[in-house]
Amino acid sequence: MIKGFGILEMLISLSLGLGVLTVIIAHATESGRVAKKITGNQERLEAIFHTVDTIKSDLNKCGMRLQEACKFFNIPGFESSQGNFKVTYGLADEELLENALHGQQTLKIGQNDFFKKDKAVLIYSLARQVWEFNEIGDFSGGNLILKNALQNDFPGNSPVLVLKKVEYKFYPAQRMLKRKTDKGNFQPLLEEVTDFYVTFFPDANSVLYRIEVNKKEQIRGYIFLLNLVQP
Amino acid sequence: MSRRGNIVISLMFVLLVSFSGLAMLTHSLLHSKIIGARRSKWQICGGLERVLLLQLHRYWQRLADSDMNEFSAPENDFFNNVNFPDANEGGFRVKNIFSQQAQAPGNGFLKVRIFNRLAASKDNSRLTYCGQASIDLLKGDIPLSEFALLVNKEIAETQAAYLAGKGVEWSSPLIPLPGKPVVEGDCRHLLAETLQLDGEFPDWRQIREKFNLEPSDAPILPGIYLALVADLVEAVFVEGNLQMLEFKAASGRQSIIFWQDNRSFELSYQPGRESMLWNGQEAVNGYKFAEKIIVHGNIWAIEQSGNAAFVSAARIQVLASGKMVISSGLEGENLGLQKTKFANLLLMTSARDFFGGDEINADIVITTGADSTVEAHLLAAGKLIHGDGLLKLSGSLIAGDIQNSGRIQIKALAGQFDFPASLSLKNFQCLQNFRVHFITEGTDE
């Protein structure tokens, strides 16, 4: 009885072994490639979902607490241009606890955690038909110190709103959609964006947007700006 | 040995295939779960938003259908969770949380702002939606200057239905007043007050004394008289009908031209400044003008000349014991900043003669043609009469009745003028200024 392989058997087994190994390596490589592609697609889809959620959330808040000021003073809650749109809404509101006069810089209002340094504020009075923007210099103990002196007289109970501005901008060269809030910088929101447009329908208080990703996928949304409507 | 080798190779192959398959499957399952979770979130959010809007609408309807005069203290007796219990619609719950804030009291009345914070939630979900609406409750002797749209007449249906039937459209949070309000007050004392005459009602003797005329009880001659105090022209008093009252704004100056018996008198000024120019006999150039005009008679045409009728700072009040005819559009200058369109003019009629107290025709008639814009507050003791076409009224409207064969669009915002404040709804309670502050996902921010 001869033990072990002969030369012929050895060659055949080596050939078979190499063949099987080649198949396994090729398959593993392909699997890795497919897995990477699937992961990439999923991540992109996740990013798209996140973008859509963020846009929807911002648009839903558009004009919040600003309905009256938008209507009577024509302060825009929504502005758009090519590849760009801006949403403004009130984060919180308080009323003047006492009259505020032209040139005054300290206002008396109720305590509210949203009134923070550097935030933009809108003060208006329908009775006096006046309004103005300003910025918070400091806020403590109900004393709101403005960065600039008032340009008008405001009676007690005039609303004071803390504003939040959110802006979206499409950068075609970078194929990127970016978002910024208030005075911050534009931060990337979605990559591989090949087209982005927004249309505002003022009569219907609605916004139609379209995002094209990688010249393949298109996401469209039509959102009714609930908070711009004043019954 | 050859058998052992084949087994190892086969096992390795099977293991590799299994690993790659499992990895792909796990990714796909995770992905499906994420999509499922998102879909579920969207569905719940959609449901919450829908039920919140429905509840807000019901709240508004309930306010519109309720008469505050039926409650002694509506801020507590009406706005509570007994009248507005929690709603439950297919697993979606909406709670009403009321709070109130006293506003600066007016002359003879109180104002309380009632907030309703509506919170929507769903069983077995952490997602919430919330909204906030407010409304002002007015109590006491409420002056007409607080009202943006009012028909001072007994009507069978609601004011909203009545106005819709009359072709009146409005874009403000009007709460109809089902209390059938009756306006109390008399414009005659306005004349006495404005000209600073003694007594409640004016008489010719006092008028003569005011304008330095020969003392007598006889009426004064038709003409245009200026009521002066120091360097101020308190008011322009017109005896007799005016053919035309013309408004013009140019270079920051407001001009008012009075036409009577084919003669014209022009008054121009810069609001709030000692800048008056007058082409009549009185030496009042450089005086300040208090922007009040009182006409004892009818005004047969009120017109705009030039590009704008009013400078932005003008607040002109015109009271007539008689009829007024607006025969052209009246628009203020466009500042080009924001298109704020607050009315700069108040036109008010008295249904009683200032001196005799006799009832007279106090209609305000608009004959501006097809499509026009009138930036004025109209307060007609008689009817508001408008023919065909579209009238855009950028101000408040208070009238005894409305006769309209066209369309009237009203941007009803109560005007802050002195004259309407002299008339009021006595011991009345009503709701004004319904506002939705926000509707948002989650708790406010």
Contact between A63 and A228 (Cβ < 8 Å): yes
Contact between B396 and B377 (Cβ < 8 Å): yes
A11-30 residues touching B, CB cutoff 8 A:
13, 17, 20, 24, 27-28
Per-residue pLDDT of chain A (231 residues), as tens digits, is 556 667 888 888 888 889 988 988 888 888 888 888 888 888 888 888 899 989 998 998 999 998 888 877 778 889 999 899 999 999 999 989 999 999 999 999 988 889 999 999 999 988 777 889 999 999 988 899 999 999 999 988 899 999 999 999 999 999 999 999 998 999 999 999 999 999 999 888 899 999 999 888 888 989 998 888 766
Write out chain A residues lying below 8 Å of B53, CB-based.
226
Contact between A184 and A169 (Cβ < 8 Å): no
pLDDT at B171: 67
pLDDT at A39: 82
Q: Closest partner residue to B20 among A13, A28, A71, by Cβ? A: A28
Yes or no, beta carbons of A72 and B438 under 8 Å apart: no
Comparing CA positions, the residue from B347, B291, B339 lying closest to residue B315 is B291
Mode of pairing for the β-strands spanning B345-349 and B183-184: unpaired
pLDDT at B160: 74
Report d(CA B365, CA B390) in Å as an integer. 14
Quick one: closest CA in A to B29, which residue? A42
pLDDT at B12: 76
Contact between B313 and B343 (Cβ < 8 Å): no
Report d(CA B242, CA B231) in Å as an integer. 26
Higher pLDDT: B276 or B123? It is B276
Taken in order B50, B55, B61, B63, is the CA torsion positive or negative? negative
In the DSSP assignment, the letter for residue B217 is S
Higher pLDDT: B8 or B33? It is B33
Quick one: closest CA in B to A66, which residue? B437
pLDDT at A3: 64
Position B314 pLDDT exceeds 70: yes
Model confidence over B283-304: pLDDT tens digits? 889 999 999 999 999 999 999 9
Contact between B305 and B247 (Cβ < 8 Å): yes
B413 and A CB contact within 8 Å: yes
Write out chain B residues lying below 8 Å of A74, CB-based.
338-340
pLDDT at A55: 93
Residue type, A8: L
Taken in order B349, B350, B356, B360, is the CA torsion positive or negative? positive
Position B176 pLDDT exceeds 60: no
Model confidence over B221-275: pLDDT tens digits? 999 999 988 889 999 999 999 999 999 998 889 999 999 999 999 999 999 899 9
CA atoms within a 13 Å half-sphere pointing along the CA-CB vector of B80: 8
Residue B88 distance to chain A (closest CA, Å)? 22
Yes or no, beta carbons of A74 and B338 under 8 Å apart: yes
Contact between B409 and B164 (Cβ < 8 Å): no
Position B440 pLDDT exceeds 90: no
Q: How many degrees, rounded to 5, is the angle at CA A74 between CA A68 and CA A76? A: 95
Residue type, A64: M
Q: Where are the beta strands (DSSP E) in B124-222?
A: 128-143, 149-151, 168-170, 183-184
* Structure token pair of residue B13: 């192959």
Position B445 pLDDT exceeds 50: no
What is the average pLDDT score of chain B? 85
Write out chain B residues lying below 8 Å of A60, CB-based.
439-441
B7 and A CB contact within 8 Å: no
Q: Closest partner residue to B31 among A24, A42, A93, by Cβ? A: A42
Comparing CA positions, the residue from B143, B142, B145, B151 lying closest to residue B178 is B151
Report d(CA B22, CA B18) in Å as an integer. 6
B353 and A CB contact within 8 Å: no
Average pLDDT over residues B338-355: 81
Task: Indicate the pLDDT class of residue B444, thresholds 50, 70 and 90.
Answer: very low
B42 and A CB contact within 8 Å: no
Task: Indicate the pLDDT class of residue B340, thresholds 50, 70 and 90.
Answer: low
Q: Closest partner residue to A60 among B23, B413, B440, by Cβ? A: B440
Quick one: closest CA in A to B6, which residue? A17
Write out chain A residues lying below 8 Å of B30, CB-based.
42
Region of poorest pLDDT, from A65-74, B45-54, B432-441: A65-74
Write out chain A residues lying below 8 Å of B16, CB-based.
24, 27-28
Higher pLDDT: B310 or A75? It is B310
Higher pLDDT: B30 or B377? It is B377
pLDDT at B292: 94
Within 8 A by CB and 6+ apart from B142, the residues are: B106, B108, B109, B424, B425, B428, B430
Report d(CA A230, CA B171) in Å as an integer. 8
